[in-house]
Chain A
Amino acid sequence: MSDWERSSTARVTAPARPRKLAKVPFVELADGRLQGVVSSGSDIGRVYVSSVAAGSYTFACSTNNNRPCGGARGAFCNHIRALIGEAVLQYGAERVARCLKAETEAAAPDGEPTAQSITAVMSAARPPQGDTAAAAPVFSRFLRHLAYLELAPSTEPLPEMQWFPSAGAAA
């Protein structure tokens, strides 16, 4: 076994990188998709739930009340483009490209992937439009995520957090 395998504090996931949250408050790489929530530019009470599937790039976009997004007809809407951009800020382009199985090398042989190249590669594949079945669970995950802010802090010690050192230098 390597030192990493025999470390109690081996780093498994990189922490989210800081980014502005006003436009795209929630992004995740889960269930074989890039998915998240994009705030409407015009209606402050409305959000769009957007997703792109890994490999097939099947995309979907609808409001939290399950109305289809007018922009997502036949091609990525601006919400999906914003989602990809913010995911790249939060996780890094390399991880987003890997999770989506977006092969950007062909587009830019020696360059690192970027939000632009990832979006371009996926768009060029003429991805199909999927149904919005995943929108409700993604939106409820977003609400659960927001609900963490409502939980009270505590001054009782949590000894288990010794296994989760600050990710300092990596951030």
Chain B
Amino acid sequence: MVPLGGGGGLMRADSLTATIDGLDETLAAVDAFDLALEAGLLRPRPDRAEGLTGLAHAVAGTPLAARVAEAAGKAVAGAATEDHFLALAAARAALLGSAHDALTARVEEATGRPRGEESAPAHGERQAANLHTAARSWLCDLARRGWRGIDHDVVAGAARIVSAMLADPALRRPATLLDGFAAELAASCPGASLARVPARRWADLWTRAMLLTLPGASGTPTAETATGRLLPLGVDLQEHATAVQAQVHAVFEPADGSAPRLVRASVSAPKPDTVVGAGLWQLLRPHMSLLTALGEGRSMDLADMPLAGGDLIWSDEHARPGEPADPFATARVALATAADPATAPLDRHPARIAVPVFLEGYTVRKDDGALTFTVAGHPLAVDADRVPAAGPLTPQAIAGSAACIGLLRWDAGAYRVQPLAVETIVRKKAVAVHAGAWAGGTADKAGVRAEKAATDALAALRERAGRLLRK
């Protein structure tokens, strides 16, 4: 196979449509366990025995085998304790970890890019044993009741734990996860009257929260430092009711002439649920100058910026604005040779796959509002829903595009691409539209209106906070 189009960072789509040996069986074991968790493990569940023992069978021959077999037996009997739930969570995470590895190997074939080295494991995380214990006990309660058995009382148990965790910046990861998860469960109560349950999703969040409460789980890898040129490709925005994170994907060219690599720079903030749209950029903007550089189409020069695995730990002191840099030029020229970072062990999960790719020469199909790119005869679903509201990139612009910088992802059984930017041809000239165009502010008419509304909303909340919080 030759890479499509012969140039730049183009992608080989055929690797993404071929079947992966063992993937269906692995996911079937996950699904069966997820259905058991939906029903709850408080009482003996002979009807769900298969889902529980199936999980144990799927990890037979791994170091987890004995513990998971015991845990599955106890869970079938309705007698599982916290340690048993932890063993089941570990088994589920291991299965999805292996799915992640197989899916990522295909992505590497498709992009043809080198893989970076693994960074040293995490160390030295501060303990918060009491809060971790409280969180785990809440999660075990959920597992016993099952998603069908949740009510307002059990879900409300998370509020106190989340408040205490949010007060400690070292616990931001579990706090943010539990907060988003609990809000979703609260909005779905009572579980008994739900028409359908997002079984994979809630089991994912439950599993991840269980593992994050283990000592050392949420430590960041040992950091090196980065000095050189940073060429942004685009920004991915993530949000739940009370948190937002922007992740800029970029090519980093080390000043020492060593090989270029793909990196991410993240900035996140807790938020009231009424801060949305342009308000999200306003919260994040003051804390990462890279968002402004991205909006202006500039590179940045880094000096001794901490870098942990593929994640820059951003600090404005270590960065200054550089030369103009067009993300499409970066995607065409620099992306193909940049190494993808290795994934941290706990992050091995299909939902965590977000690999920058460049697509060109595709055709666009639209069925029932869903977009599909056909790349060299292979269909690739377009995840236009993930594009942030406060920005100029619309489904219409994506539908009319001729080139696309995106994040390759995998969910619900298929690869898909999340557009970060597209090029459309207007009167024979290429015009770029970026999802993150408003990240640093905007002069766009609709953008200015959204910014003004968001400024007023934030000001109103800050005024109320100033008057009422410190009484």
Chain A residues close to B by CB (< 8 Å): 1-13, 15-22, 25-26, 30-32, 39, 44-45, 47, 64, 90, 142-171
> 20 A-B residue contacts at CB 8 Å?
A3-B413, A6-B200, A8-B201, A13-B241, A15-B239, A19-B274, A142-B468, A148-B271, A148-B272, A149-B458, A149-B462, A156-B268, A157-B313, A161-B238, A161-B239, A161-B268, A164-B238, A165-B386, A166-B386, A167-B385
Q: Is the CB of A158 within 8 A of B453?
A: no
Query: Which chain B residues lie closer than 8 Å to A160 at the CB level?
Result: 173, 176-177, 180, 208, 212
Report A-chain residues with C-beta under 8 Å of the C-beta of B388: 166, 168
- Whole-angstrom distance between the alpha carbons of A162 and B352 in the complex? 6
Question: Which residues of A are found within 8 Å of B355, using beta-carbon distances?
Answer: none
Residue contact A157 to B238, C-beta cutoff 8 Å: no
Chain B residues closer than 8 Å to A11, beta-carbon distance: 385
Give A24 Cβ to nearest chain B Cβ, in Å: 10
B268 contacts across to A, CB distance below 8 A: 153-158, 161
Known contacts A16-B241, A25-B460, A150-B469: A169-B389 contact under CB 8 Å:
yes
Is B464 touching A25 in the complex (CB atoms < 8 A)? yes
A20 to B354, CA, bound (A): 35
A155 near B315 with CB under 8 A, answer yes
Tell whether A21 pairs with B461 under 8 Å between CB atoms, given A151-B166, A152-B169, A153-B284: yes
Chain B residues in 8 Å Cβ range of A158:
172-173, 176, 243, 245, 266, 268
Cβ of B429 within 8 Å of any chain A Cβ, yes or no, is: no
Give the 6 A-B residue pairs with the shortest CB-CB distance, closest first. A8-B351, A153-B269, A161-B238, A171-B389, A155-B314, A10-B198
Interface status of B247 (Cβ within 8 A of chain A): yes
Shortest CB distance A93–B (Å): 17
Report the minimum CB–CB distance from B30 to chain A (whole Å).
9
Which of B65-73, B77-85, B184-192 is the interface stretch?
A: B184-192
Are A171 and B276 in touch, CB under 8 angstroms?
Answer: yes
Report B222 CB to chain A, min CB distance, Å: 14
Residue in A25, A64, A155 whose Cβ sees the most chain B Cβ within 10 Å: A155
Measured between beta carbons, the chain B residues less than 8 angstroms from A10 are 198, 200-201
With a cutoff of 8 Å between Cβ atoms, the chain B residues found around residue A30 in the complex are: 152, 186
Residue pair B196, A4 in contact (C-beta under 8 Å): yes
A144 touches B163 (CB 8 A): yes
Query: Judging by beta carbons under 8 Å apart, are B172 and A156 in contact?
Result: yes
CA of A32 to CA of B189, assembled, Å: 10
**Min CB–CB distance A32 → chain B (angstroms):** 8
Chain B interface residue count, Cβ-Cβ cutoff 8 angstroms: 94
Supposing A12-B201, A16-B274, A153-B269 touch, asked if A169 and B456 sit within 8 A by C-beta, the answer is no
Which chain A residues border B264 with CB–CB below 8 Å? 157
Q: List residues of chain B with CB under 8 Å of any chain A CB.
A: 27, 31, 35, 152, 163, 166, 169, 172-173, 176-177, 180, 183-184, 186-188, 196-201, 204-205, 208, 212, 220, 236-243, 245, 247, 264-274, 276-277, 279, 283-284, 287-288, 311, 313-315, 344, 346-347, 349-352, 354, 383-389, 395, 411-413, 418, 450, 453-454, 456-458, 460-462, 464-465, 467-469
Residues of A within 8 A of B383 (CB): 165
Q: Nearest-CB distance from A159 to chain B (Å)?
A: 5
Complex interface: chain B residues within 8 A of A152 (CB) = 169, 269
Complex CA gap A147/B163 in Å reads 10
Contact: A1 with B163, CB < 8 Å?
no
In the bound assembly, the distance between CA atoms of A154 and B469 in angstroms comes to 22
Which listed residue (B243, B265, B274) contacts A161, Cβ 8 A? B243
Residues of chain A with a CB closer than 8 A to B279's CB: 18
Question: Are B351 and A163 in contact, CB atoms less than 8 angstroms apart?
Answer: yes
By a CB distance below 8 angstroms, the chain A residues around B351 are: 8-9, 162-163
How far, in Å, is A120 (CB) from chain B's closest CB? 26
Cα distance A15–B469 in the bound complex, in angstroms = 25
Q: Is the CB of B31 within 8 A of A1?
A: yes
A149 and B461 contact, CB distance less than 8 A: yes
CA distance A31 to B152 in the complex (A): 7
* B169 cross-chain contacts in A, Cβ below 8 A: 152, 154
**Given contact pairs A3-B413, A18-B457, A158-B268, A169 touches B385 in the complex (Cβ within 8 A):** yes
Docked pose: A45 CA to B463 CA in angstroms: 10
Chain A residues whose C-beta falls within 8 Å of the C-beta of B457 in the assembled complex: 18-21
Which residues in B have their C-beta under 8 angstroms from that of A64?
468
Q: Which partner residue on chain B sits nearest A17 by CB separation? A: B276
Q: Would B198 and A156 count as touching, CB distance under 8 A?
A: no
List the A side residues contacting B204 at CB < 8 Å: 8, 163
* Bound: A142/B460 CA distance, A: 14
Residues of A with C-beta under 8 A to B461 = 21, 25, 146, 149
User: Please, how many angstroms separate the alpha-carbon atoms of A157 and B268 in the complex?
Assistant: 8
The residue that A16 contacts in the complex, of B197, B276, B287, B464, with Cβ under 8 A, is B276
A55 to chain B, nearest CB (A): 14
Distance in Å: Cβ of A107 to nearest Cβ of chain B = 25
User: Nearest chain A CB to B308's CB is how many angstroms away?
Assistant: 8
User: Does A169 lie within 8 Å of B288, measured CB to CB?
Assistant: no
With both chains docked as a complex, state the minimum distance between the C-beta of B439 and any C-beta of chain A, in angstroms. Answer: 12
Instruction: Report the nearest A residue to B388, measured CB to CB.
Output: A166
Q: Is the beta-carbon distance between A166 and B196 smaller than 8 angstroms?
A: no
Q: How far is the CA of A46 from the CA of B254 in the complex (A)?
A: 57
B465 touches which one: A4, A18, A146, A170 (CB < 8 A)?
A146
Name which residue of chain B comes closest to A149, CB basis: B465
Q: Which residues of B contact A45 (CB under 8 A)?
A: 467
